Amino acid sequence: MRTSVLFVCLGNICRSPLAEAVFRSLVEAEGLADRFTIDSAGTSNYHTGDSPDARTVSTAAVRGVRVEHAARQVTPEDFSRFDYILAMDAENLRRLERVVSKLDRAVEVRLLREYDPEAEDSAEVPDPYFGGTRGFEDVHDLIERACRGLLAHIRAQRGM
């Protein structure tokens, strides 16, 4: 059985496709690619079908991470398909929790930065969309740290 992980932000063009790509590269580096299904989605439909933001793609490319995704909105089926759903910020977590409270299935829905060892409680991945390139670099650093923590958490929880 594969472990399935979904990253969620608002537009699914900046933060969550980056988290998807960073997490995938970590999983591949640890030789676990065939043990995971990894995807991302947005709580909005603002950018459905769009490619990732050019700033996300270029910032990640500098760090050797390729970001390829077509934006999509979170669907009800995602809550039965995924084992771990990671929200980038509190507003997106709140939107997900509204659905999760009605489920009987155990799906772990958390803020991604819960797994960032340097983050305080309730820390978010800030939305870089309306800022400059520097914001995208900072977001990449936060996401990479949190994704390392998330992978360690999942490996420990699942005995991998």
Residues that bind ligand 4NP (CB under 6 A): 9-15, 46-47, 127, 129
Choose between 10 and 151: whose C-beta lies nearer to ligand 4NP.
10
What is the closest distance, in whole angstroms, from the C-beta atom of residue 62 to ligand 4NP in the complex? 18
Q: Could you give the 3-state DSSP secondary structure of residue 40?
A: strand
User: What is the number of the residue whose Cβ is closest to ligand 4NP?
Assistant: 11
Only one residue has tokens 């079908």, namely: 49
Choose between 16 and 25: whose C-beta lies nearer to ligand 4NP.
16
What is the closest distance, in whole angstroms, from the C-beta atom of residue 30 to ligand 4NP in the complex? 26
Choose between 9 and 85: whose C-beta lies nearer to ligand 4NP.
9
- Residues with catalytic annotation? 9, 15, 127
Contact between 13 and 54 (Cβ < 8 Å) = no
What is the closest distance, in whole angstroms, from the C-beta atom of residue 95 to ligand 4NP in the complex? 12
Contact between 128 and 94 (Cβ < 8 Å) = no
User: What secondary structure, in 3-state letters, does 59-128 show?
Assistant: HHHHCCCCCCCCCCECCCCHHHHCCEEEECCHHHHHHHHHHHCCCCCCCEEEEHHHHCCCCCCCCCCCCC
What is the closest distance, in whole angstroms, from the C-beta atom of residue 10 to ligand 4NP in the complex? 3
Only one residue has tokens 């496709």, namely: 17
- Rounded Cα–Cα distance for residues 45 and 27 (Å): 28
Choose between 3 and 92: whose C-beta lies nearer to ligand 4NP.
92
